[in-house]
Amino acid sequence: MEFLLNPFPTQTYLKPLIFKPKQVHSLSLVKLRGGLEFPRRNLASLGKNSSISTGNSVNDDEMEDWELEFVGEIDPFSYQAPKKRKKQEKSRVLNDEEGMDWCLKARKMALKSIESRGLAHKVEDLIKKKKKKKKRLAKKDEISKEVEEIEEGFDFEEDNGNEDFDNQINDNVSRLRDTVSSMGDGMFLEKKEKAMEELVQKLAQFSGPSDRRKEVNLNKDIIQSQTAEEILEITSEMIMAVGKGLSPSPLSPLNSATALHRIAKNMEKVSMPSTRRLAFTRQREMSMLIGIAMTALPECSAQGVSNIAWALSKIGGDMLFLSEMDRVAEVALAKVAEFNSQNVANIAGAFATMRHSALDLFEGLAKRAADIIHSFHEQELAQMLWAFASLYEPADTLLQAIDTVFNNANQIKCCLSHETVKDDEETGVENSRDIEFGGIPDPPVLTLSRYQLGNIAWSYAVFGQLDRTFFSHVWKTLSSFEEQRISEQYRGDVMFASQVHLVNQCLKLDYSHLQLSIDGELESKIVRAWKTKRFNQKTTSSFQKEVGRLLVSTGLDWVREHPTDCYTIDAVLVDQKVALEIDGPTHFSRNTGTPLGHTILKRCHIAASGWRFVSLSYQEWEELEGEVEQLEYLRKILKDHLG
């Protein structure tokens, strides 16, 4: 005698059943408490045509109501047979299987309902996206795991200052590493730095015969990538392969330079904010790529060195890569004779953007530029002069060569359109625009935009070289052009108006004998545009506020943020004609601490305007301890000027 339990626990049905031998496969014995055993029906084999044979040959019509409810033949709530439905096509998402259990059957019914509403394609898209996402995550986890295997035996300290990467780092491990690193008088820090150098050397296996095919394929993958993240993923996979023994490395000097250049270019393309760029640079894979590029830098071509310098300036700005830029300066100086006009302009511009002084390098760049000055394009010349002026690097050799080549006013023209000359990151060979007729080259002609004219004029004002021939040609071209264009242009470009106004005031104060200054209606238009506040807002730093509070304690009648004809002075004593400038970090080179070009120009102009100039730099202020010492220092530097 066998017993069958009711799956609905409200009642217990006991019914004697006799099973035929051919149905034994659909039953299994289940042992109950008390030693009883009974066969359990294999529900996976039940369907509309399923039947259970008993001693009375029970078929579907003779089945109990609860059994029909269990297999879904009647509604369990109303106990009425559901209406016959038209047979629907099977779901494309989930295939119909006869052996489906109740959970899959419910899922099948739900999917059929979705398909009947015409939403099946959306479900398929969601499933495909989910599968792709899982594959990407699995691939990323695999890459991270293999990179960690490469670094086994080396101790790295993660920089987890950005929240995006906090989840990837175990806080307890980082805290332990920090504690251990501070022990032993820095011995562990030295060991860690040495381990990093050894790893970079291992990855930078550039010696031996190269695999040209792999290098070309890698270069194509880098160039065809659309985002900085994609490029970094490609290079990190290659770094893993090299770490596992791939030799020679396809990540050649050319490819490492191209990778950095393309990462920076894609950052510029999407206008990536500086905070995101800094977080991107903190990644371990990015640090490795930069380390490899620095190791291979001497083997790079002149164009490669130029591209790397440009890329570092765009990725890190003036906040990162101090030691890397020193390395670039060293290698660039050794290769300066190979540079074309574009290389000179890009390298000089990169150092100026990062506020990174390099006296020896700029001396070499000035000599090289003087030798090939005839080959410079308009943008390259304007950028190079701006870079020398921004860092206040000596440029006498360069300026003399420019006067020699561009000695005729007809060689300077002004374009009316806003066409931009070749972009900084373009690669290629030297572009010489000399045209020869009968073996005699024509003199080069520059067609400058008004922005380029403004930058060149400002650069000569910083140099204090407004009596140069080339400046005279540029200024006259600018003046005649703006007499026609100023009414519709200056309002939209306050920075350009500020440059022209500043240079014009320098001409009035220090070079009045040249009679080049702008006056009349043109000058009034420039002044009105310069006074526009939309792009000319003055901000007060915390350093200025701190010094301002102590100035009150001196007992003198200080006026803060005092406007003059060109500048706003931080603090002045009007009666004594004393001007105090409070100069923060942006006024100085980040590596040498020397004043930058715009700071020099402001100091000279204020002094030329009749003020007794006093400068207070943040380097001096940081060495003082406490307000008493700071106040004493203020009185000391003001003593000579106050009489």
Q: How far is CA 126 from the centre of its chain?
A: 31
β-strands 612-617, 578-583: how paired?
parallel
**Given this model, what pLDDT does residue 308 score?**
97
Distance between CA atoms of residues 314 and 352, nearest Å: 12
> pLDDT: is 628 or 170 the higher one?
628
345: its two tokens: 């302009």
Residue 220 lies in a domain: no
CA-only gyration radius of the chain, Å = 39
**Given this model, what pLDDT does residue 1 score?**
43
Distance between CA atoms of residues 608 and 594, nearest Å: 21
Domain count, the chain: 1
**Given this model, what pLDDT does residue 126 score?**
76
DSSP H helical segments within 204-227, as ranges? Answer: 212-224
- In degrees and rounded to multiples of 5, residue 262 shows phi and psi of -70, -35
In this structure, are residues 412 and 473 in contact, taking their beta carbons and an 8 Å threshold?
A: yes
Least confident range of 65-69, 77-81, 362-366, 423-427: 423-427
| pLDDT surpasses 90 at 66 | no
CB atoms within 10 A of CB 414: 18
Write out pLDDT tens, residues 436-471: 334 446 789 999 988 899 999 999 999 999 999 999
**Given this model, what pLDDT does residue 536 score?**
56
| pLDDT surpasses 90 at 589 | yes
Write out pLDDT tens, residues 305-325: 999 999 999 999 889 999 999
Band (pLDDT 50/70/90 cuts) for residue 158 is very low
Residue 617 lies in a domain: yes
**How many residues belong to the chain?**
643
| pLDDT surpasses 60 at 510 | yes
Residue 346 lies in a domain: no
Average pLDDT over residues 21-35: 43
Band (pLDDT 50/70/90 cuts) for residue 615 is very high
Distance between CA atoms of residues 311 and 328, nearest Å: 12
* Termini Cα distance of the chain: 123
Write out pLDDT tens, residues 189-228: 566 666 666 655 555 544 445 678 899 999 999 999 999 9
Distance between CA atoms of residues 479 and 453, nearest Å: 10
296: its two tokens: 């291979």
Task: Give pTM, 2 decimals.
Answer: 0.68
DSSP H helical segments within 244-321, as ranges? Answer: 253-269, 274-281, 284-296, 302-316
HSE, side-chain direction, 13 A CA sphere, residue 114: 16
Distance between CA atoms of residues 558 and 548, nearest Å: 9
The percent of residues above 70 in pLDDT, for the chain, comes to 65
301: closest CA among 350, 338, 342?
Answer: 338
Q: What single DSSP character describes residue 571? A: E
Mean pLDDT computed over every residue of the chain? 76
**Given this model, what pLDDT does residue 355 score?**
97
Write out pLDDT tens, residues 213-271: 899 999 999 999 999 999 999 999 999 988 888 888 898 999 999 999 999 999 999 99
Domain with 576 in it = 542-640
373: closest CA among 352, 400, 346?
Answer: 400
Residue 528 lies in a domain: no
Distance between CA atoms of residues 328 and 346, nearest Å: 12
Residue 304 lies in a domain: no
Write out pLDDT tens, residues 550-561: 998 888 899 999
Integer angstrom CA distances of residue 9 from 13, 16, 81, 179, 308: 10, 19, 22, 62, 76
Distance between CA atoms of residues 82 and 80, nearest Å: 6
Integer angstrom CA distances of residue 64 from 14, 48, 70, 101, 105: 12, 15, 10, 21, 22
Angle 564-566-570 (CA atoms, 0-180°, nearest 5)? 55
Average pLDDT over residues 139-162: 51
> pLDDT: is 312 or 489 the higher one?
312
List own/partner pairs for 482-489 with CB under 8 A and 24 or more apart.
Answer: 482/450, 482/522, 482/526, 483/522, 485/416, 485/450, 486/522, 486/525, 486/526, 486/529, 487/525, 489/450
**Given this model, what pLDDT does residue 215 score?**
92
Max avg pLDDT among 325-334, 540-549, 551-560: 325-334
| pLDDT surpasses 50 at 390 | yes
Residue 4 lies in a domain: no
Residue 407 lies in a domain: no
Band (pLDDT 50/70/90 cuts) for residue 286 is very high
**Given this model, what pLDDT does residue 97 score?**
46
Max avg pLDDT among 95-109, 483-497, 592-606: 592-606
**Given this model, what pLDDT does residue 110 score?**
77
**Given this model, what pLDDT does residue 438 score?**
40
Residue 256 lies in a domain: no
Angle 31-33-34 (CA atoms, 0-180°, nearest 5)? 105
Write b or e for each residue in 136-164: b if 16 or more Cβ atoms lie within 10 A of its Cβ, otherwise e: eeeeeeebeebbeebbeeeeeebbbeeee
The CATH number assigned to the domain holding 584 equals: 3.40.960.10
| pLDDT surpasses 90 at 25 | no
**Given this model, what pLDDT does residue 143 score?**
62
